[in-house]
Chain A
Amino acid sequence: MFKTFPIRSPLQTGGVKKTINTWARALPSWVVYSVGMLPALIAFYQGATGGLGAEPIKALEHELGEFGLKLLIIGLMITPLRVYGKIQLFKFRRAFGLLAFIYVMLHFAVWALLDLGDVALIWADLTKRPYIILGMIALVMLIPLAATSNNYAQRAMRGGWGLLHRLTYPVALLSGLHFIWLRKGFQIEPLAYFAVIAALLLLRVPAVQRVLRRG
């Protein structure tokens, strides 16, 4: 599904790009996994030792959700970076996707076990609160993606794999809405995230790609 276009890169800063690409080629994926798990480990450690302030449960919940969203966004940037920037981070795409899944699951676990910790409360929120429902739909959609994020499934599913993994688009949209919806008042931060997500998704629209290719 990922077409590479014979286009001239808008980023003609050859040196930086070459350095990034050289480094990326040398760097094994396990490094990305390990480094990617650090924020979660640090956050849990801080939470357990009093480093997250007066309300560590909310702080942890926010930290994990926000990092999960960042990872989803990085995952969506890989293809545009390759197509328009000639920056080759493709080999890390699975790592970013799986890390995003892990963070979202941890985010969910903190919410269910530490924040609410009560089946009746969990059920009430899952059925009544729109922002929770949006988050839950996004999480459920990530499950088949995580389950098929291995070479075997990728080969076995052929074209279907790419199609299935387009679910990342609605996942990102729903996550962005989830974030906007849960803040009080008019706040810039979730809107900025949403703008980035919207821009990255627009890059997937054929008409937009045609315009960019011509330019």
Chain B
Amino acid sequence: MAKRWQNDLGAADITTEAVFMNRRAVLAGMAAGAAVGLTGTAAQAADAGAPNDWDDITSYCNYYEFGTGKDDPKKYAHTLTTTPWSIKIDGLVDRPGTYDLGQILDKMTIEQRIYRFRCVEAWSMVVPWDGFELADLLQMAGVKSDAKYVAFETVARREEMPGLRYPVLDWPYVEGLRLDEAMHPLTLMATGIYGKPMPNQNGAPIRLVVPWKYGFKSIKSIVRITLTDRQPPTAWNKANGREYGFYSNVNPTVDHPRWSQATERKLGGGLFSRRQPTLMFNGYDKEVSKLYAGMDLRKFY
């Protein structure tokens, strides 16, 4: 079932960047609810809500399989073959199997979602994703009643991904969500940006987007989804558990051990752009805080 969640601004009909830029005023509505109270002025709120342009979104990426520099993915990710593409769905599902991406997309309704995206490194952007809800995909495979978590895996091809030669992380990249997080209407499987197919450097052909969590949770180029009854390992948590928790919800009050998470700088503002306050759950507090009711978010960071 698509369209369970709507941007306040109802921008689903906007398809081109040019149109986007003309509708800054409308888009301001998205961030307004969250940002006005913090920054005080409508002008700032508008800025927080304007989507970043295509170049910013596609040139400043963390995709360590193609190198650790921010510009490496754009330079090197063109080598990744994304057709044909299939996703193996296994574990605690009624209909396990290897699903061809084309077959999946035939059954899904693609819609546009304009989300804030907050990297754990304290930069952020606003991205107009195209995609479908993960819940729809999981329903297609049929989730068994004892499933509690969803595990994801990124493709790992040494011939196509030069970064795999270096042990920066324990490849392949893996991520995970609790089942209720995975089923949340905000959780998106994204296949495009600005109405164009997902660029390789942003995780083509299909990636996860969990807008209330730090960016690294939104795993790219997914080849496997496994339903399980125990918390799956996640790549950054394995690399440094003290710095990257399983939940990794955006939280301005819980710092990364090496830097503050209280503020962020939105990409694309130039040499003199200021930092802006980071919002609880990246501004999706209203939608997701109930998932964590009663949990100590300092402990489950």
Contact = CB atoms under 8 A, between A and B. Distances in A.
Interface of A: 47-48, 50, 53-58, 60, 114-118, 121, 124-125, 128-131, 181-189
A53 B71 contact: yes
Central interface residue in B55, B68, B71, by most chain A CB within 10 Å? B68
Contacts of B268: 54
Contacts of B265: 55, 57, 115
Contact of A55 (B259, B263, B267, B275): B267
Contacts of B274: 117
Contact of A186 (B56, B125, B167, B263): B167
Contacts of A57: 265, 271, 273
Contacts of B263: 118, 121
A118 B262 CA distance: 12
B99 interface: no
Given A125-B259, A129-B258, A185-B240, 18 more contacts: A48-B271, A50-B270, A54-B59, A54-B267, A55-B70, A57-B273, A58-B123, A114-B272, A117-B275, A118-B263, A185-B64, A185-B169, A185-B236, A185-B239, A186-B166, A186-B167, A186-B168, A186-B239
B271 A60 contact: yes
20 contacts: A48-B271, A50-B270, A54-B52, A54-B125, A54-B268, A55-B267, A114-B272, A117-B274, A118-B263, A118-B275, A121-B275, A125-B259, A182-B258, A185-B64, A185-B68, A185-B168, A185-B240, A186-B239, A187-B68, A188-B166
B130 to A, nearest CB: 21
Contacts of A187: 68, 166, 168
Nearest to B62: A184
Interface in B204-256: 236, 239-240, 255
A110 to B, nearest CB: 9
B14 to A, nearest CB: 22
Interface size, B (range): 20 to 34
B258 A130 contact: yes
Interface string B135-179: 000000000000000000000000000000011110000000000
A187 B271 CA distance: 27
Interface in B250-294: 255, 258-260, 262-263, 265, 267-268, 270-275
B85 interface: no
Contacts of A186: 166-169, 239
A121 B267 contact: no
B55 A54 contact: yes
Given A117-B275, A118-B275, A53 B60 contact: yes
Interface string B48-86: 000010011001100010001011000000000000000
A118 B68 CA distance: 29
Contacts of B52: 54
Contacts of A121: 260, 262-263, 275
